[in-house]
Structure 1
Amino acid sequence: MTETPRAPIDSRQAFRAAAIALASAADGERAPVEWWWCDADFADWPLDDPALIAALGAWLARPGRQLTLLACGFDELVRRHPRFVAWRQYQSHRVLGRQVAVDASQMPTLFVARAPQGFEVLDRVRWRGVWFDGADDWRQRREIVDALQQQSVPSFAATTLGL
């Protein structure tokens, strides 16, 4: 795997660029890989950006790939990111949504990629975050993800049924 550019995460735009950069990083691995994204509602993620959708599509094209979205709710994501929602209809078996039973203020903003890469936004007011690429830091974030998953239920249906 090639090294992901590590521009500082010090603004909303830098956060959006970090998400696209990490999703777009070349991944020569053929092994199964799971990514976890955590956020209260994903409203501020660049999910409608064509570059991110293309990067996700390329990443998911390899066997054994799965992206799990952990959120307090998906209503804002559905309202703000219609391109991502439409794209996900065809990827729902590999892009899972889970609703977490925690207060939105307690929900971290995380992108946990292949060990040991990822980033976390620590201050959502000033959009300050940190990259992590050490095994211990990655393991700590995975433990957070595991705890959140234990408090979650499947959500974010790919289609809605109507009468």
Structure 2
Amino acid sequence: MPDEAAASPLPEGRFDGREAFDALLRNAFAAAAREGWKEMVFSDLDFADWPLGERATIEALQAWAASGRRLMLFAQRYDVLERGHARFVAWRRMWDHIIECRAAGKASGTEVPSAIWTPSWFVHRIDPERSRGVSGTEARARRELREAIEECWRNGRPAFPASTLGL
């Protein structure tokens, strides 16, 4: 008998609070591995309160990572991620060939969305301070979120290198 929890669809609708947001992210990481999503976009001011340093997150991302996959990271800044999520930083180094990172330009003026986007599902934290937002599969909402992220991406610059080369 298949594991019903593993096969359950990702949640849709409004969420409120840090615990609900964290649960959505954890579910998304597990679903990415289970369903073999080809592309994911993570976008946030600095990823400070995302559960990216957790062992279970890295295990799910490791199971997801494969040839033909793509992860795009967009942030205002990466210093908090580098200091606070050592496991993720190490995983990012190993999978550099499927990960592209950009940062918002200093004069961008555009607010960085706090979101996960995939071709079939999204999480958008509309109020990051209170961890309130919406998740779902609705095509229009996914398209609008992707367009907002792409606008930031175009105005951004390469950032968060996997390694620092020095002479």
> Structure 1 length as normaliser, TM-score?
0.87
Q: How many residues align?
A: 157
Does 2:115 match 1:114? no
The separation in 2 between residues aligned to 1:100 and 1:145, in whole angstroms, is 10
Q: Which has the higher helix share?
A: 2
Identity %: 37
Q: Aligned to 1:134, which of 138, 143, 148?
A: 138
The separation in 1 between residues aligned to 2:143 and 2:76, in whole angstroms, is 22
RMSD of aligned alpha carbons: 2.0
> Structure 2 length as normaliser, TM-score?
0.85
Q: Deviations over 1:65-96 (max 9, x none)?
A: 11100011111100111111011111111122
> 1:93 corresponds to which residue?
97
Once the 2 structures are TM-superposed, how far is the Cα of residue 8 of structure 1 from its aligned partner? 5.3
The separation in 1 between residues aligned to 2:165 and 2:150, in whole angstroms, is 30
The separation in 1 between residues aligned to 2:47 and 2:36, in whole angstroms, is 28
Query: Letter of the aligned partner of 2:48 in structure 1?
Result: A
Q: Aligned to 2:149, which of 138, 145, 151?
A: 145
Does 2:17 match 1:11? yes
Any conservation in 1 of the 2:11–2:136 contact (CA below 8 Å)? no
Query: Letter of the aligned partner of 1:20 in structure 2?
Result: R
Once the 2 structures are TM-superposed, how far is the Cα of residue 125 of structure 1 from its aligned partner? 2.1
The separation in 2 between residues aligned to 1:81 and 1:59, in whole angstroms, is 19
The separation in 1 between residues aligned to 2:127 and 2:142, in whole angstroms, is 19
Runs of at least 5 residues in structure 1 that lack an aligned partner in the other structure: none
